[in-house]
Structure 1
């Protein structure tokens, strides 16, 4: 599987916030040890690629388990890497007789790469992690220490060019590593992808957009809030957003792997935006509003852009969000975030998304006509 194919099917694994915290701790200049989960068997809380950064004062960022291993690793990490990086195996099976330390009843076994800071390999990795948060993706191949060999590392950009390589890396193995699957160990080489955070465009800067932006930011997503009404599109209203801008500019910046939620509460603005965003084919496009309102929007948009209703429905999630129950902006935000996360990770099951049959049904029974296309209060304020 190529890098592009891996990213397209949901490689954004949801560790962006952890990476931000690790980079922040590194920038403080007190980091002493980096722990990376490179292998797991059985039931484990985290998957390969999870990390824990430890400072000289015992402060830490990230996690490598559900809390059962962190204290032990933090306590011993500095001592364990006195002679350089090591790989240590921990069992979370509840077995007092096990040779692997130490059973805590979680049900699995993990292999941890524990490496000291200050090496070229460490600096290259953390720099690449920081770059990934700014949208510069890369592939990292770590040659694990053991059998008298020290840790070595190679980092590639998305075109396969070598960004960094340890002096002792075998060039033949380096060339072969370009095509290895991420998240696995191959002949002592741990392969991973450092992908950019999921980007979310919130089209509409009303008050109900605030909890949506806050929740997305907690996941480490890159959130852009956009609105054509300058009195709403203000940075101070959305401190958790990476950027707040005009809707016209936001549409020009959208890519196919982005998630977009239309929630202007203005029928005319939603229709105009839907007409422009649909052909871009974002990974997720959600439309806030009642089912009959969405049916009318889709029907009119399909006619305006010359698409079939079915083709439009294939690219839209409406009503937006999973059916989690609850009411109010926070509950709606949770439902939307859950659906975006599931969609982008390829885990979406049953969705309420609008089908072409639903549009036909609403139009036929006149339900859509009950939506009054009078000027919205938010339109009047623009």
Structure 2
């Protein structure tokens, strides 16, 4: 996930500023099953501080031990971690441990790519041959620019694990009432880029919303100015029928991953009737894409519980999954 890579890149830069070495630990292969899959990464500081995780916690302790030689020599290493007996998982992880040093130029380039919402590719080249193992390493680049690493250092003698990361997932929350604060907080903890949309006359401040990247004040007719794309979820929760209508009439021109509207079923029916009356040519595909009442039916009552149900629905829609109990799924697969 791009937010995990973002944490790793920024953390490595901060460590360099303090003259602390860091190593990047990447799962590049898996034989069997595991808690997390190839492509998961973590950063380890020389003082044992960890950013991210590659398992539920057990593998990390071993990584601290294995990374000591990398800190000391400055050379990469590739190891296999057999979790069949230690973790109860039937999997053997292939893990690349490499020195990772992010400088100011690389950090700036990385942030530019994030802001431009470009796809980022990571290629990890590794070899278990003694003569090449210490030269294993990773490259990070966008569609147009190299961000980290030197491609010419690797050749066909190396194995390659490649991963493509989509732009940072966004959540636009239209509305600045009390329940929006809970949704913002939980969505930020999920790793999403959360932005609050308020009216020009609104009195809320971004500091009122824990985890929010920004609070944008806009006239209801200026929604077209927002950078909304297929990696964006939208939740309209203004508690105002008029505002919801104005927002929805403009949002139908946008591409998005998810659109939810807070409110009762009868309310969304009236909103749709009004949208059709104002714009008879409105796309029925857009109307069908609206989730309202938004959220999964898990018996939510409090703003916090409702926020969890909304986030769960967003994830299920974006991943193309029909919500179900994992225990029920396991029973059917037994």
The alignment's TM-score, normalised by the length of structure 1, stands at 0.73
Distance in 2, matches of 1:116 and 1:349, equals 41
Distance in 2, matches of 1:88 and 1:124, equals 31
Q: Which region of structure 1 is more displaced relative to structure 2, 22-31 or 202-211?
A: 22-31
Q: 1:340–1:279: structure 2 CA closer, same or farther, 3 Å change rule? A: same
Q: 1:308–1:229: structure 2 CA closer, same or farther, 3 Å change rule? A: closer
Please, which runs of 5 or more residues in structure 2 have no aligned partner?
325-334
Distance in 2, matches of 1:132 and 1:341, equals 24
Aligned 1:1-382 pairs, distance under 5 A: 13=1, 16=3, 18-26=4-12, 27-29=14-16, 30-80=20-70, 82=73, 84-94=75-85, 103-118=86-101, 133-134=114-115, 135-147=117-129, 148-149=131-132, 150-159=135-144, 165-170=150-155, 188-228=159-199, 230-248=201-219, 250-257=223-230, 258-307=232-281, 310-349=284-323
SS at match of 2:312: helix
The answer to whether the 8 Å contact 2:126/2:136 transfers is yes
The alignment's TM-score, normalised by the length of structure 2, stands at 0.83
Distance in 2, matches of 1:104 and 1:87, equals 20
Distance in 2, matches of 1:65 and 1:123, equals 30
Cα shift at 1:66: 1.0
The answer to whether the 8 Å contact 1:224/1:242 transfers is yes
Higher RCO (Cα < 8 Å, 6 or more apart): 1
Aligned-residue CA RMSD (Å): 2.8
Q: Which has the larger radius of gyration?
A: 1
Q: Which residue matches 2:329? A: none
Deviations 1:150-175 (A, max 9, x none): 2254444225x6555334234xx7xx
Please, which runs of 5 or more residues in structure 1 have no aligned partner?
1-12, 95-102, 174-185, 351-382
The answer to whether the 8 Å contact 1:154/1:166 transfers is yes
Cα shift at 1:201: 0.4
Distance in 2, matches of 1:333 and 1:72, equals 37
Distance in 1, matches of 2:138 and 2:104, equals 11
Q: Which residue matches 1:371? A: none
The answer to whether the 8 Å contact 1:131/1:137 transfers is no
Cα shift at 1:21: 3.4
Cα shift at 1:231: 3.3
